[in-house]
């Protein structure tokens, strides 16, 4: 038995240790955020285990209901939603929860309330479960600035007021990517320990990438700037090589690849979805938060994504996010169209 290797394994930077280290930088901190995060992590581990067993446990079939977005709910969606609601409520640190699966916000009973509001998509890309493609959980965290009765106003705030955001991707490995506003860090689940280990410290997105990611099936419905941009990706006029197209159709997987390899992810507004397709609170904001923290940009076609102020909890928005220079290019195309 290799005792030296085992000793090394005990000196790993787990996500709990990482967050406690961060907490120690704030002497006034009471550990509420650490407790909240450990409950989110527990939810992610549970869903990861359920996703891995889904085919065997007959969880994949349709649950028979349709969720607020009109998508048929998979059993695993329902399970993941229940897991996260229970984990967040039982942390005793939350007041308002907004889930993609629930039409209304959940208000935590007063005896279990805390100062945080969590917005989340418990299982993004769940239509991909059947074919084994990566899916994930996305979450964003706000703080309550008052001690009054919580309302939806506590989450209808711009993304730049989030205190933390992240996603957990269930793929060939289970990876949790997190930002608390001081950079982006990636943790990989070690199944033998049941712990998330820091494997990708301080992720920085390349300034420019050679991949674009968009559903080209919607091309006939796109506006001018998006059409022009994708045309440039395929047929560059400046002599540079064409960009490669990569599109999984699972936002967590597409954004994860964009974050690590660079490039741009686009989900524009079109004639079919004039307000875009992705939801502001629990898809656009957390991913935009992570992109900016990693040195990239996120743009809606009109403004910086994190400056949006949502009016409804399930509001949608177009989104262009990724490498700084690539997003700068699409911004220039929208500015040019506005000036014409």
DSSP codes joined into one string, 302-338: SSBGGG---SSTT-EE-EEEE-HHHHHHHHHHHHHHH
Model confidence over 251-306: pLDDT tens digits?
Answer: 999 999 999 999 999 999 999 999 999 999 999 999 999 999 999 999 999 999 99
In 3-state terms the chain splits into helix, strand, coil percentages (rounded to 5) of 40, 25, 35
Q: For residue 304, with 0-12 CB atoms within 10 Å meaning exposed, 13-18 middle and 19 or more buried, which class applies? A: middle
Q: Does the pLDDT value for residue 90 go beyond 80? A: yes
Query: In the predicted model, what is the mean pLDDT of residues 64-84?
Result: 77
Model confidence over 3-53: pLDDT tens digits?
Answer: 565 555 667 999 999 999 988 888 878 899 999 999 999 999 999 998 888
For residue 76, the model assigns a pLDDT of 87
Nearest one of 40, 66, 36, 31 to 196, comparing CA atoms:
40
* pLDDT classification of 130: cutoffs 50, 70, 90: confident
* Residue 228 to residue 222: CA distance in whole angstroms: 10
Model confidence over 139-198: pLDDT tens digits?
Answer: 999 999 888 899 999 999 999 999 999 999 999 999 999 999 999 999 999 999 999 999
Q: DSSP class of residue 284?
A: I
For residue 60, the model assigns a pLDDT of 55
For residue 86, the model assigns a pLDDT of 97
Structure tokens at 100: 């993609």
Structural domains of the chain, with CATH: 15-200 (3.30.540.10), 211-339 (3.40.190.80)
Structure tokens at 47: 């869903």
Q: What are the φ and ψ backbone dihedral angles of 44, each rounded to 5 degrees?
A: -65, -40
- Return the ∠ at Cα 42 (arms to 38 and 47), rounded to 5°: 145
Structure tokens at 59: 């969880």
Model confidence over 210-263: pLDDT tens digits?
Answer: 999 999 999 999 999 999 999 999 999 988 999 999 999 999 999 999 999 999
For residue 10, the model assigns a pLDDT of 64
């Amino acid at each position: 038995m290799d005792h030296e290797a085992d000793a090394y394994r005990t000196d790993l930077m787990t996500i709990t240790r990482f967050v406690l280290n961060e907490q120690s930088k704030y002497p006034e901190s009471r550990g509420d955020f650490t407790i909240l995060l450990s409950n989110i992590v527990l939810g992610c581990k549970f869903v990861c285990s359920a996703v891995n067993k889904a085919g065997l446990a007959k969880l994949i079939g349709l649950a028979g209901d349709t969720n607020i977005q009109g998508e048929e709910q998979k059993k695993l969606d329902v399970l993941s939603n229940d897991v996260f609601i229970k984990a967040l409520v039982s942390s005793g640190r939350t007041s308002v929860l907004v889930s993609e699966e629930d039409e209304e916000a959940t208000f935590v009973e007063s005896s279990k309330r805390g100062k945080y509001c969590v917005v989340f998509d418990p299982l993004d890309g769940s239509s991909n479960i059947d074919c084994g493609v990566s899916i994930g959980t996305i979450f964003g965290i706000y703080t309550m600035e008052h001690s009054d009765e919580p309302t939806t106003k506590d989450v209808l705030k711009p993304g730049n007021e989030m205190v933390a955001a992240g996603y957990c991707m269930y793929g060939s490995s289970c990876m949790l990517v997190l930002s608390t506003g001081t950079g982006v860090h990636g943790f990989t689940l070690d199944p033998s320990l049941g712990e998330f280990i820091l494997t990708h410290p301080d992720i920085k997105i390349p300034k420019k990438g050679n991949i674009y990611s968009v559903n080209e099936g919607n091309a006939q419905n796109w506006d001018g700037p998006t059409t022009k941009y994708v045309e440039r990706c395929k047929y560059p006029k400046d002599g540079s090589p064409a960009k490669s197209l990569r599109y999984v159709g699972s936002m967590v997987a597409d954004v994860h690849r964009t974050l690590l390899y660079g490039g741009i992810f686009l989900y524009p507004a079109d004639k079919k979805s004039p307000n875009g397709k992705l939801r502001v609170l629990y898809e656009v904001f957390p991913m935009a938060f992570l992109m900016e923290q990693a040195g990239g940009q996120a743009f809606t076609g009109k403004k910086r994504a994190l400056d949006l102020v949502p009016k409804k909890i399930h509001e949608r928005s177009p989104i262009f996010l990724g490498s700084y220079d690539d997003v700068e290019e699409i911004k220039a195309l929208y500015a040019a169209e506005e000036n014409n």
